[in-house]
Copies of this chain bind each other. A is one copy, B any other.
Amino acid sequence: MLSLKHIAVSSFNENIAYLHKDCSIYKIDEIKNITKVEIHGGATPVYAFLEIVDDSSLISPDEIGLNNEAFRKINLPQGANVTLSLAGRPPSSGILQRKIGGNILSSSEYSSVIKDIVSGRYSNMDIASFLVASGSFMTSTEVLSLTEALIGDEIIKWDNENIVVDHHCLGGVPGNKTDIIITAIVAAYGLPIPKTAARSLTSCAGVADTFAVLANVEADESKLKKLIKETRGAIIDYNSLPIAYASKIVSSVERSLGVTQQQHIISSILAIKLAAGVTHLVLDIPVGPSSRIKSTNEAMRLRKLVEYVGDMLSIEIDAVITDGSEPIGNGVGAVLEARDVMRILRNKEEAPQDLLEKSLFLAGRILEFDPKLRGGQGYHVAKDILNSGRALEAINRIIYAQGKAPQAQLGHLTRDIISSRAGVVESINNRQINKIGVLAGASQYPGAGLDLLKKVGDTVEAGEALYRVHSVNASDFAFANSFADGDSGYEINSKR
């Protein structure tokens, strides 16, 4: 028996157990490698990585320390007696190894893997291995199996609604925050849209990051239900909702790896939407040479895959292939994107037309889920809602209902990236723009990012600014500028 001690250390989802090197019970000299242990004494065993302590003031030889994550899970008071055993490999480890070996897994095998992930039996390293192995090859049936496994047991029920809609974009295009505009329009129309949004994985800002500039994006299930009842729309960081727990773990590992794979994104998005009780989804698949999805063929394959999985899981999906050849809107980074969105909702002249048009188009597709709306009318209804100011009223209601955010500051370190020659903007490289924005600090600070002053087709004079870099701190600013000086991401065609 070891005595339980809480070590107030937070390790980002990894459970850690601390043992003294002269532990009275467990012989440490037999432990030569990364070792998982099982701690017994609570309601269920807690799995943790072992770290060895050589400081009795931290852990004495008859104690076991648990970090915040593990201590919360074991749910026992300090001083409680616990026992320890070496954790065998998780039950699904053979399945993981089969996937690493390139095999096709069954539905029950996916559910075993996800069950072990949720119960904490996989380390982040195991999860990363699973993601890399499955990302390299999955059949459509496997994507379906993974999606089902990721949904989990908690599903939000919308008892008084026939249709619950949402919109999601597969990403890879900087700017492009149609979601907030769409939510405003759809909510103003009256369809319930509990938009589950994500924080940035590898981009400058996720929808949740951008809307967090305007409002509090956290909600539990009862708050979400209240929001939808009152305002018909909400934009919530899905991490704050008690759903699709496995998806969150997987995303956290992907974010840390800096890797996102198509099949996992699809499984994860659909699982979250299904867990959120969404019945009708518009999925935006942007295609462009520097976008995540490079060709129409690839987009078409993804559309078929999404339709297959959606049909099998009884969610109506309208997968729309859109132009992702350049950034959408002018702002890249949360504060600048929120500015674009509000300009559109306020019908301002400076509003970026590409973002405006795309939002109306997609909002129209969602509105047409309503059986009462005549086919082909969606776009016009959406436009009317926006122009009449009803979308602005809706977003303001949503912002106040979710809780208005304090005013966010745009990064005060700025520099214009200049065109060295006159001509026409031939192309803008999404990946390069995203990278410069991330270097400028956008994924870390809402106020950092890029303000695109020229878009494809615009005329540029030599010495004129292409975009403005905004940073919050000096080292990010220097990185972004030196990177932009190497390659601005813009191609200027000098033949006018």
By a beta-carbon cutoff of 8 Å, the part of chain A in contact with chain B is 7-13, 18, 21, 30, 32-35, 51-55, 58, 67-68, 85-86, 88-89, 93, 97, 100, 102, 123-129, 131-133, 135-136, 199, 252-253, 255-259, 261, 444-445, 475, 479
- On whether the beta carbons of A8 and B53 are closer than 8 Å, the reply is yes
A129 touches which of B21, B89, B102, B132 (Cβ 8 Å): B132
- On whether the beta carbons of A256 and B129 are closer than 8 Å, the reply is no
Give the residues in chain B near A9, CB-CB below 8 Å.
18, 51-55, 58
A34 and B444 contact, Cβ closer than 8 Å, known pairs A100-B135, A125-B257, A129-B259: no
- On whether the beta carbons of B125 and A253 are closer than 8 Å, the reply is yes
- On whether the beta carbons of B12 and A34 are closer than 8 Å, the reply is yes
Interchain CA distance A32-B199 in the complex, whole Å? 10
Q: Within the oligomer, what is the number of copies of this chain?
A: 2
A136 and B51 contact, Cβ closer than 8 Å, known pairs A9-B58, A12-B34, A58-B58: no
- On whether the beta carbons of A35 and B12 are closer than 8 Å, the reply is yes
Most buried by B among A8, A125, A126, A444: A125
- On whether the beta carbons of B55 and A132 are closer than 8 Å, the reply is no
- On whether the beta carbons of B10 and A100 are closer than 8 Å, the reply is no
Give the residues in chain B near A21, CB-CB below 8 Å.
10
A133 touches which of B8, B136, B479 (Cβ 8 Å): B136
- On whether the beta carbons of B33 and A12 are closer than 8 Å, the reply is yes
A8 and B89 contact, Cβ closer than 8 Å, known pairs A100-B132, A132-B129: no
Give the residues in chain B near A89, CB-CB below 8 Å.
258
Interchain CA distance A100-B202 in the complex, whole Å? 15
Give the residues in chain B near A124, CB-CB below 8 Å.
34, 125
- On whether the beta carbons of A85 and B475 are closer than 8 Å, the reply is yes
Q: Which 8 A-B pairs have the closest CB atoms?
A: A34-B256, A8-B55, A8-B54, A10-B52, A132-B132, A125-B128, A12-B34, A129-B132
Most buried by B among A13, A89, A126: A126
A97 touches which of B13, B129, B252, B258 (Cβ 8 Å): B258
- On whether the beta carbons of A256 and B136 are closer than 8 Å, the reply is no
- On whether the beta carbons of A100 and B136 are closer than 8 Å, the reply is yes
Nearest-neighbour CB distance to chain B for A298, whole angstroms, equals: 13
Interchain CA distance A383-B8 in the complex, whole Å? 63
Interchain CA distance A127-B58 in the complex, whole Å? 30
- On whether the beta carbons of A129 and B257 are closer than 8 Å, the reply is yes
Closest residue on chain B to residue A57 by CB atoms: B57
- On whether the beta carbons of B8 and A100 are closer than 8 Å, the reply is no
Give the residues in chain B near A256, CB-CB below 8 Å.
33-34, 123, 125
- On whether the beta carbons of B100 and A444 are closer than 8 Å, the reply is no
Nearest-neighbour CB distance to chain B for A440, whole angstroms, equals: 13
Closest residue on chain B to residue A135 by CB atoms: B100
Give the residues in chain B near A97, CB-CB below 8 Å.
258-259
Interchain CA distance A126-B125 in the complex, whole Å? 8
Interchain CA distance A366-B253 in the complex, whole Å? 48
Nearest-neighbour CB distance to chain B for A212, whole angstroms, equals: 11
Q: Beyond A7-B55, A34-B252, A136-B136: 15 further Cβ-contacts under 8 Å?
A: A8-B54, A9-B51, A10-B51, A10-B53, A10-B54, A12-B33, A30-B445, A33-B255, A33-B256, A34-B124, A34-B253, A102-B136, A125-B128, A125-B253, A128-B128
Interchain CA distance A54-B12 in the complex, whole Å? 14
Interchain CA distance A35-B255 in the complex, whole Å? 10
Closest residue on chain B to residue A53 by CB atoms: B9
Give the residues in chain B near A100, CB-CB below 8 Å.
132, 135-136, 259, 261
Interchain CA distance A8-B54 in the complex, whole Å? 5
Closest residue on chain B to residue A36 by CB atoms: B256
Interchain CA distance A53-B85 in the complex, whole Å? 27
Give the residues in chain B near A54, CB-CB below 8 Å.
8-10, 68
Most buried by B among A67, A129, A136, A261: A129
Nearest-neighbour CB distance to chain B for A71, whole angstroms, equals: 11
Give the residues in chain B near A136, CB-CB below 8 Å.
100, 102, 133, 136
Interchain CA distance A253-B133 in the complex, whole Å? 16
Closest residue on chain B to residue A133 by CB atoms: B132
Give the residues in chain B near A51, CB-CB below 8 Å.
9-12, 67
Closest residue on chain B to residue A6 by CB atoms: B55
- On whether the beta carbons of B129 and A8 are closer than 8 Å, the reply is no
Give the residues in chain B near A126, CB-CB below 8 Å.
128, 257
Closest residue on chain B to residue A54 by CB atoms: B8
Give the residues in chain B near A253, CB-CB below 8 Å.
34, 125
